[in-house]
Structure 1
Amino acid sequence: MTLIHPTAIVDPAAQLDPTVSVGPYAVIGPQVRVGAATTIGAHCVIEGRTTIGRDNRIFQFASLGAIPQDKKYAGEPTELVIGDRNTIREFCTFNLGTAQDAGVTRVGDDNWIMAYVHIAHDCQLGSQITMANNVTLAGHVHVEDWATVGGLTGVLQRMRIGAHAMVGFASHVNKDVPPYLVVDGSPLVVRGVNLVGLRRRDFSAERIAAIRDMHKLLYRQGKTLDEAREGIAALLAEMPGAAEDIARMDAFLGSAASGIAR
């Protein structure tokens, strides 16, 4: 008994765990490695130096590991690495990295990625991310853990979306989105704190209060970014239970080379 459909074309050099399921007419290249219990739907094409972990569900017509849509790409041995327990729906396209960055496009664990999502070269995605239909990430975008990105949203090259942030439907992300916030629109507007998401993840009252204070310092008191960061750092003495959140926000703001949504 085999889990590979007889019409699928799997290169003999590909490394598939014996428990991997491959649907009809799928094509899998020689440098592909797939972990245990992953299912690959009909008509998928998985090529390039692509490593996929265990327990992923890859639906029909996905294209994973194709060369970057970057004119500078000259055939360098770059990679796509996908973690465990991800759901990747129909017609998604994930590209290899480029030599101009780390050379790896990376997707973490437990992500829910809906149909027609494009993840371009050198993007770095964390874990527990939700991306709705037709989200498009340009090259070098970073999306941190637990972020949610609404359908039909486009993200400009090298932008970052912080942990626990939520980007609304059909937004144009041309600035970094700090952690914990809700943004939407074109031009991008900060709407407030992602309270629904934080409560669903059992954030304590102290942590939520600190995050709301950080939002006020950034957006409600007319402070410069440097002044807001000073105020955020000072919150640590008052709210030690939110130390992780304060440190995350400060680190994100300190590395926002392209500016933040503000």
Structure 2
Amino acid sequence: MQKVLIVHAHPEPTSVTSQLAEIASETLKAQGHEVMRSDLYGMGWKAVFDGRDFPVRANQERLSFIDESGHAFAKGLQTPDVEEEQRKILAADAVILVFPLWWFSMPAIMKGWIDRVWAFGLAYGFEGAGNTYRYGEGGFAGKRAMLGVSVGGPAQDYSARGINGPLDQLLFPITHGTLFFPGMQVLPTFAVYGAGSIDAEGMAAAEAAWRSRVERLFDDAPLAFRPQNGGDYPDRHVLADHVAPHLSGLVAHIDHEPAEKKKAAEAAFPVQREEELSP
């Protein structure tokens, strides 16, 4: 049995987002896992990260979020709501973030959850070592993470040459930054497109696909983000010249070689899928 935290952000209980969160919970419980929930709208989560997060300040003269976050985390002076969410995430073996794509990112209330819960000393500045432990290492190392996203527009708008840009690249600041930065292993994103006008048949198909993805939460391979301390970044800042020299931008920070090797192996030794063996 594993422990999974589901964090979801939508105020409407009948929304696609809310349905995805409920389906994930049902599926995991059916597998015997323990599920923790954080319904951010239902909780009335305080989204704004400000001075009220530090009732006992280290410096009354100037508000430094890094200094005050580190002080509050180290001294046990965080607000109770933040401490409770940190307790959940530290206990979890995996975290699923379920949200609608609003203006190409997560809703403000979920961004505020990240801002307040990802404390200095935990999600960054781990063990007082600055940036030594990040991108594959850190306070959340060993945990898995996955996004379940409801998207209003059609899939073609988010395709490789779609007008909105590829969804994986739009969500890179979340998958690579928010989740991989503090050490989580991030699975490919699951998306429901056309969520604003989806019919019963489309929702049934989305539900079946989502259940399958959730069932494989602890089995599927994570995205091959390059770890900071794996040798690809000699100075911990910039990729070495010999690493993916033909690539730049976001895609350069994903190791495509394992996928290419797998594709070559499958071509050489094709495997029949279960459905292909059915009569």
TM range (shorter): under 0.3
Whose strand fraction is larger, Structure 1's or Structure 2's? 1
- TM-score when normalising by structure 1: 0.26
- TM-score when normalising by structure 2: 0.24
Whose helix fraction is larger, Structure 1's or Structure 2's? 2
